[in-house]
Amino acid sequence: MKSVEELLQELREKIHLYDYHYYVLAEPLISDYEYDHLLKELEKLESENPQFFSSDSPTQRVGKDLTKEFKPVTHQFPMLSLANTYNESEVLDFDRRVKEILGEHEKVEYVLEYKIDGASVSINYVNGKLKTAATRGDGTTGEEITQNIKTIKSVPLKLKIYPHPKYSLNNIEVRGEIYMDMEDFELLNKEREERGEKLFANPRNSSAGTLKLQDPQMVAKRPLKIFIYYLLSKENELQQQSENLELLSALGFRINKDFQVCKSIEEVLQICRKFEEQRDSLPFEIDGAVIKVNSIRQQNILGSIAKSPRWAVAFKFKAKQATTLLKAITWQVGRTGAVTPVAELEPVFLAGSTISRATLHNLDEIRRKDIRVNDIVVLEKGGDVIPKIVSVLLDERKDDSLPTEPPKNCPVCNSVLFQPEDEVALYCENLECPAQIKGKLEHFASRTAMDIEGLGEALVDLFVEKKFLKNAADIYDLKFHREELIQIERLGEKSIDNLLSSIEKSKQQPFAKVLFAIGIRYVGAGVAKKLADHFLSLENLQKASKEELTNVFEIGESIAESILQFFSDEKNLLIIERLQKHGLVFSSEKKIITENVFTNKSFVLTGALENFSREEAGEKIISFGGKVISSVSKKTDFVLSGEAAGSKLEKAKSLGIKILSENDFLEMLKSVLGT
Ligand code: IVH
């Protein structure tokens, strides 16, 4: 008779094999019914014998615990990105550079792969078992998403061959792209629409967003797929990228089998064209081809510059275009009063979705491209989702067509519009303009600000029209109107109660989000975070002079002026006072950091650093209790000086301020981190 341990082992192996056939090879071996039955059997046996728990059992794919924070993970090898080429001559330039470095006598083979339009991941396997998975992050450090990656059934929890007779695989990182098939993505969006949830813009955003969900059970329900394109190890005995792909496949990874080995650059160009033709018939989105030098010895000779390798390049496909009729130009009033033109189009299908509107940005843009109503326009969807009008088909223009003129009055409240001298934008200056009121409220309630679920465009419009809302503070008074709100046609008791409870919940949003939500012009989410971290409370921020504001790293004159102007307006102060009374958070708790070399020291950063961006270095300083300021004065404690530092370094020298090299800085960091 088999022991329980053997039985468990056997069942787990069986299910791993069925998963592999179903999810990696797309060749199921058994019916769903039989599969579910086996999985239940395994679950039962495991729960009866907890002493034989194994973290790589198929039952351990979907964790129950929420991921509270995505911890930083340092990649063993940096995650590089690719330089782009957009046409054949740029590909030929790439080939020429490769050959120049390698020398004439070297034969060069290339491997061509699809450039999958998804989110990249790195997965670490130690002793044959999946250990951690991480996002790309800044290329050096990513965020740990192991729980979420484990839910993807085409990701093996352990290597199919380990130990391997030919390769040492004790500690490897595999790299690949997480994506969604178009069809799955559309279905997901349809379901979200039915549930009244926000739609994802494209499969890429949807995949990247899913990887950052806190609940692995929700991730498991999303149709994520993976293609692995790369295996890295410190003991790498691999000779070629094509061999790398074959090894990955043998180890149980899902690779894209359409890769091609090309013997000449002419062949590379031919395959690039072939891939571009195939683009629309693939089930997933690709935005180009990746051209890689096949020989790993040659790759090592070529090395990399900054953040991308010299041995590989992306060949980006042309943006997809369509032509359609521009039926009208309407003018939209945003939350700041800025009036922007919008193209109303005859609906046309382009790259996966039907487009009926496109932004025209501003009047300058319209004049530059001479865009007129009734024109046939060329639309393009580039890397981003919002389509843009690239040009007009002048040959099709009617003789009686007239250049586009901007409106003189606000299309919503009819007040006379204003154009500041140094700006291209037109503004409605009437603060009572319903469009501005609605825009401000929508912004306040939005996910990245106060995150009030349910208070979207439609409800804001309704509540403004019914005079329940005039400003953000009114949102927190809605609870006093519960009975009246329930009476409004089509809003039931349940939905109002849900809304009221998410309004209450929003009171816990941190200071930085509140600061962003109140809508000070030029204060986006990033600036709000910096201000909150620096000043720690609204009171301090309100007291700050222009100089104190501009002394904060990356806060310039116009932001500072806008902040001062905001707090000088009585109406804003009244709203803030009411929000404070409602219990919103207007201060950040100072993080408790033990005293260290950074505590209360002021730093000025100048020049380019090798290991961090200036932004990252600044964040580190702040997180250890130091301050980052933008200009050197007598009060500055340190100047961190990188490559090609200029006038700030000179000034620091003349004032006798301590100058730190990047190495000194690393030492200081180490002293705090105790490593
Ligand atoms: S190779 C140094 N291969 O494109 C090698 N990347 O900027 C870099 N991508 O971040 C990656 N398909 O997320 C490689 N077949 C493929 C790829 C691919 C998609 C993504 C990857 C990378 C970005 C390039």
Which residues of the chain are modeled with pLDDT < 70? 196, 352, 382-385, 590-593, 675
Please tell me the class of the 434-508 domain.
mainly alpha
- Domain 4-60 belongs to what topology? Helix Hairpins (1.10.287)
Does the annotation count 115 as an active-site position? yes
| Residue 116 beta carbon below 6 angstroms from any ligand 1 atom | yes
Q: What pLDDT is recorded for position 497?
A: 92
Nearest-atom index, ligand 1, CA of 309: 2
Q: What pLDDT is recorded for position 303?
A: 94
What homologous superfamily is domain 511-581 in, according to CATH? 5' to 3' exonuclease, C-terminal subdomain (1.10.150.20)
CA 82 – ligand 1 centroid, Å: 7
| Residue 204 beta carbon below 6 angstroms from any ligand 1 atom | no
Nearest CA to ligand 1 atom 17: 115
Distances (CA, A) of 120 to 157, 219, 224, 312, 385: 18, 16, 12, 16, 19
Taking the C-alpha atoms of residue 135 and residue 153, their distance in angstroms, rounded to an integer, is 18
Asked if the domains at 434-508 and 511-581 fall in one CATH topology, the answer is: yes
| Residue 120 beta carbon below 6 angstroms from any ligand 1 atom | yes
Please tell me the class of the 321-397+413-418 domain.
mainly beta
Q: What pLDDT is recorded for position 442?
A: 94
Nearest CA to ligand 1 atom 22: 81
Over the range 60-71, which residues count as b (16 or more CB within 10 Å of their CB) and which as e? ebbbeeebeebe
Q: Which CATH architecture has domain 84-316?
A: 2-Layer Sandwich (3.30)
**Where are the chain's structural domains?**
4-60, 84-316, 321-397+413-418, 434-508, 511-581, 602-673
User: Which of 120, 244, 254, 294 has most ligand 1 atoms within 8 Å of its beta carbon, as the pocket-test mutant?
Assistant: 120
Report CA Rg, the chain: 29
| Residue 61 beta carbon below 6 angstroms from any ligand 1 atom | no
Taking the C-alpha atoms of residue 665 and residue 372, their distance in angstroms, rounded to an integer, is 57
Burial of 343 (0-12, 13-18, 19+ CB in 10 A): buried
Angle between helices 557-567 and 570-581 (to 10 degrees): 70
* 305 and 286 Cβ atoms separated by less than 8 Å: no
Q: Which residues, 6 or more positions from 159, have their beta carbon under 8 angstroms from its beta carbon? A: 125, 128, 129, 169, 251, 252
Q: For residue 378, list its beta bridge partners.
A: 323, 391
Give the model confidence (pLDDT) of 574-630 as tens digits: 999 999 999 999 998 765 667 889 988 999 998 888 877 777 788 788 878 888 888
Q: For residue 282, list its beta bridge partners.
A: none
CA 314 – ligand 1 centroid, Å: 8
Q: How many helices (H) and strands (E) does the chain have?
A: 25, 23
Give the model confidence (pLDDT) of 70-113 as tens digits: 889 999 999 999 999 999 999 999 999 999 999 989 999 999 99
Length of the chain as a residue count = 675
Kind and range of the H or E element at 171?
Answer: strand 171-179
Taking the C-alpha atoms of residue 278 and residue 160, their distance in angstroms, rounded to an integer, is 32
Taking the C-alpha atoms of residue 353 and residue 202, their distance in angstroms, rounded to an integer, is 9
| Residue 334 beta carbon below 6 angstroms from any ligand 1 atom | no
Taking the C-alpha atoms of residue 548 and residue 635, their distance in angstroms, rounded to an integer, is 13
**CATH code for the part of the protein at 602-673:** 3.40.50.10190
